[in-house]
A = this chain, B = another copy of it.
Amino acid sequence: MKKLLNIAFTMLLCVSVYAQQALWGGSPLVSPEINKDNTVTFRLYAPNAQKVEVTGDFLPQQKIETPFGTMDAPGAAEMIKGDDNIWQFTTPVLNPELYNYNFIVDGLKITDPANVYQIRDVSSICNIFIIGGDRADLYKVNDVPHGSVTRRWYESPSVDMKRRLTVYTPPGYEEGNEKYPVLYLLHGMGGDEEAWMALGRTSQIMDNLIASGKAKPMIVVMTNGNISQEAAPGETSAGLNPPSFMLPKTMDGTFESSFPDVVNFVEKNYRVKKEKSGRAISGLSMGGFHSMHISKEYPDMFDYVGLFSAAILPAGDVKSPVYENIDEKLKVQFGKNPKLYWIAIGKDDFLYNANTEFRKKLDDNGYKYIYFENGEGHIWKNWRIYLSDFVPMLFQN
């Protein structure tokens, strides 16, 4: 036993003296603790801190002043220091959801050292936890058959690049002979081919929807829509550089016109249905923009289109053949009767008016689409909802 403990300590590569002491200094600190009544208790051992706060998306948002006007930001709550030098805060009862949070210690935003479940969102890291029940059970890993998730590279001849994508194949794909339909799932600005897996919980949502019979087994292809990048930060020869939000060429038509490279790669390398009725495309924000433009550029490619909180029109100064003659292209696309054109947005989304205008255009022309509106704004909570509502509508006939 002593030998095992020796192995234990010497293998804890990145554990400081402080953390090691915690290993033999009594019961380890638990944070977050999800209590039986679905309140959540956060704890942080910080004997010398003057002020500790928790900030996260379960707290009411606050307004902050910025050079660009008043904006919403996650709220913060003060934690209380106990005699044991452990700061603590317990939430009200929380609804089922995947939540994120950070601590703020004397003004310094940190992650919770007691919680290894962390997710990168662009250039920040936050902790996550899940309150189960209702829809949030779709976001959990459950005891159901699991698909495979592969990070893979493909050639994109139209831009002469090797690029990385993430592929979810459903349980049973490798063993059978069946041909599967494909959902192409696109991220928003600042995201990459990891975003839908991390904050989107795509593999969990797909496993759970397929296991319950609510979704058809399908392949999900998550691309990188930043055409100036080969792959997510840290995954290219650019090295371990800080991720950048404002990348060049994200919405200039290049990614859209290179998209057939992705479809060709998938259809050459996977056992898939190679017709319009076997292909869907959807994306969030910039990925909704890409989905809208790709699907109208290639009106015979996709029978299912999903715009999640989509940006709609290109910035005024961007020139690309992709963004010309939009009305005529939409006429062609809708003339071919796509099986589903689905638009979803939250009432508080800053893109709400742009989506309303776009729907008016569709209405004025009698183009068929389905509209889903819910609360809140431009947040991952909504995109998980949209994905889990959209997927069951795909490939059902």
Residue of B nearest to A270 (CB): B174
Interface: A64 (CB within 8 A): yes
Cβ of A186 under 8 Å from chain B = no
Query: Are A11 and B49 neighbours in the complex by a CB distance under 8 Å?
Result: no
Which residues of B are found within 8 Å of A380, using beta-carbon distances? 13
Residues of B within 8 A of A148 (CB): 150-153
B66 contacts A141, C-beta separation under 8 Å: no
Cross-chain contact A73 with B16 (CB below 8 angstroms): yes
A123 is contacted by which of B56, B57, B116 (Cβ under 8 Å)?
A: B116
Question: With A11-B285, A116-B243, A315-B4 as given contacts, are A16 and B378 in contact (CB-CB < 8 Å)?
Answer: no
Q: How far is the CA of A185 from the CA of B343 in the complex (A)?
A: 46
Instruction: Tell me which of B30, B74, B146, B199 contacts A16 (CB under 8 A).
Output: B74
A56 proximity list for chain B (CB < 8 A): 14
Contact of A113 among B46, B100, B109 (CB under 8 A): B109
Residue A71 interfacial (CB < 8 Å) = yes
A22 to chain B, nearest CB (A): 10
CB distance from A242 to the nearest CB of B (A): 7
Report the separation of the CA atoms of residues A237 and B5 in the bound assembly, to the nearest whole angstrom.
28
Task: Name the interface residues of A354-376: CB closer than 8 Å to any CB of B.
Answer: none
Cβ contact within 8 Å between B243 and A11: no
Total contacting residues, chain A, CB less than 8 A: 116
Does any Cβ of B come within 8 Å of A45's Cβ?
yes
Q: Contact partner of A13 among B8, B57, B107, B236, CB < 8 A?
A: B57
Complex contact A245–B76 (CB within 8 A): no
> Is B117 touching A68 in the complex (CB atoms < 8 A)?
no
User: Within 8 Å of chain B (Cβ to Cβ): is A142?
Assistant: yes
Q: For the complex formed, measure the closest distance between the CB of A171 and the CB atoms of chain B, giving whole angstroms.
A: 8
Contact with B along A300-330 (1 / 0, CB 8 A): 0000000000010001000000000000000
| CB <8 Å contact, B143 and A237 | yes
Which chain B residue lies CB-closest to A379? B13
A272 and B171 CA atoms in complex are apart in Å by: 22
Q: Let me know if A387 is at the binding interface, CB within 8 A.
A: no
Q: How far is it, in angstroms, between the C-alpha of A100 and the C-alpha of B12 when the chains are bound?
A: 12
In the complex, A105→B153 CA distance in Å? 41
In angstroms, Cα B320 to Cα A314, docked, is 67
